Every structure is written in structure tokens, then in C-alpha cells.
Amino acid sequence: MAGADASAVVRRHLRWFFAGHAYRARQWTLGPAAEELPRLRVAEFAPGPRTGLWVYATVGAWEARDDPRLEFLIAAPERDPRHVELVTMAAWYHGRRGLGAGHTLPIGEPWLPGSSCDYFLVSLPYPFGPELEVCNLRDGHLHFLWLLPITAAEREFKVREGVEALEQRFDASALEYWVPDRASVV
């Protein structure tokens, strides 16, 4: 499927899922992703009927790597161009290293000011379900994965005990993943 056609399908999928949310197309224009993924855009959705959070989702990350075809999203408490940068960074990194559910991605600094979360756990988009996760294309499908901010201690726990053990900790603590200064669950 041609790039522009596939991106249009991805955009329609997101706008269908987040119907009733104000939408804006964004682009991060700094760094290597701007050159290597020139068609990459980020869909920004304001709080609305599906979630009270801001959602930032890539449109075109699938061009970074064909197997698997992925897009990435962040759910955040506030509107911030930082989220455009972070999902763009994930798309670029995916093209270089390949990301998938269960992987961790270092951010290199706190996710947001005051946060102890400086990694992302690449995860299924649990807050939104399979309706958002799978986007059907004419020649197959792609998956949206969620960039869940986690602490270094949570990452270390995941490496030692596994993703499922960490997710059980998240469930047991009723993780408020959108709170930048949340306490670590381990």
C-alpha cells in the first residue's frame, strides 16, 4: 500500500476511534527522524468522550520498519509538544532497533518535569483496547502500541521478573499512569 494511502487509513482509524475529540496534526521537525521519516506525523487528540487525557499517536511510524508495522501512542495529562517529540523518537528508534510489546525504551531524562519515569514500557494499548490496537490496511494490518512511562526501578523489575509480573504490580496498585510524579510500584 502506498505511503500516503496507508497514512490516510491510519488517520481515519484514529479519528474514528477518538470521535468527539478535537484533533490536530503535528510534526516534530528536529533530529534524525525529520530526515529519515519525512512523512511521519503525530495526531494530537484533546480530552473527550474516550479519555480525559491528551493522546499523541504516530501516523507513519510503520514506514520505519515493515515487520512488524507499528504506530505508537502516549496518553498524557496535559498538552505538550514534548509528547510529539517522544512518539517521534519511538518511531525513529523502532526503525533502528525494532520495538515490540514488552520492550523498554530509555527516554534519557524524566518523562515530564517532576517525574521519576525515565523509560517507556512498550505495551498493548490497554486503556483503549483492541479496537484501537489493530488498524486494518488493504494489504494487511498494523498495531498501535502504548508508550507507558515507567521508572528505572520498574524497568529493572521487568528485566528480573518479566513483563507479566510488572503488569500485575501495576494492576494491584491501580496504576495512575498519567500522573507524572507517581510513586514506583516496586
The pLDDT of residue 110 is above 60: yes
Exposed/middle/buried for residue 139 (C-beta within 10 Å: 0-12, 13-18, 19+): exposed
CA 18 to CA 74: how far, in whole Å?
Answer: 14
For strands 140-151 and 104-106, give the pairing: unpaired
Contact 131, 17 (CB under 8 A): yes
Sign of CA dihedral 127, 43, 79, 98: positive
pLDDT digits (tens, 9 = 90+) for 51-72: 999 999 999 999 888 878 999 9
Contacts of 132 by beta carbon, 8 Å cutoff, 6+ apart = 14, 17, 125, 144
CB atoms within 10 A of CB 68: 16
Place of cell 488493504: 138
Say what the pLDDT of residue 3 is: 64
CA 50 to CA 46: how far, in whole Å?
Answer: 10
More confident of the two residues 172 and 5? 172
pLDDT digits (tens, 9 = 90+) for 72-81: 999 999 999 9
Contact 34, 28 (CB under 8 A): yes
H/E stretch holding 27? none
Contacts of 63 by beta carbon, 8 Å cutoff, 6+ apart = 3, 37, 39, 40
CA 15 to CA 77: how far, in whole Å?
Answer: 20
For the segment 12-26, the average pLDDT, to the nearest whole number, is 98
CA 16 to CA 7: how far, in whole Å?
Answer: 14
Say what the pLDDT of residue 134 is: 95
For the segment 160-174, the average pLDDT, to the nearest whole number, is 97
Say what the pLDDT of residue 2 is: 58
The pLDDT of residue 19 is above 80: yes
Say what the pLDDT of residue 118 is: 97
Say what the pLDDT of residue 127 is: 95
For the segment 148-162, the average pLDDT, to the nearest whole number, is 98
Contact 170, 151 (CB under 8 A): no
pTM: predicted TM-score of the whole model, two decimal places: 0.95
Instruction: Quote the mean pLDDT of the chain.
Output: 95
**All 3 cell numbers of residue 179?**
500522573
For the segment 68-97, the average pLDDT, to the nearest whole number, is 96
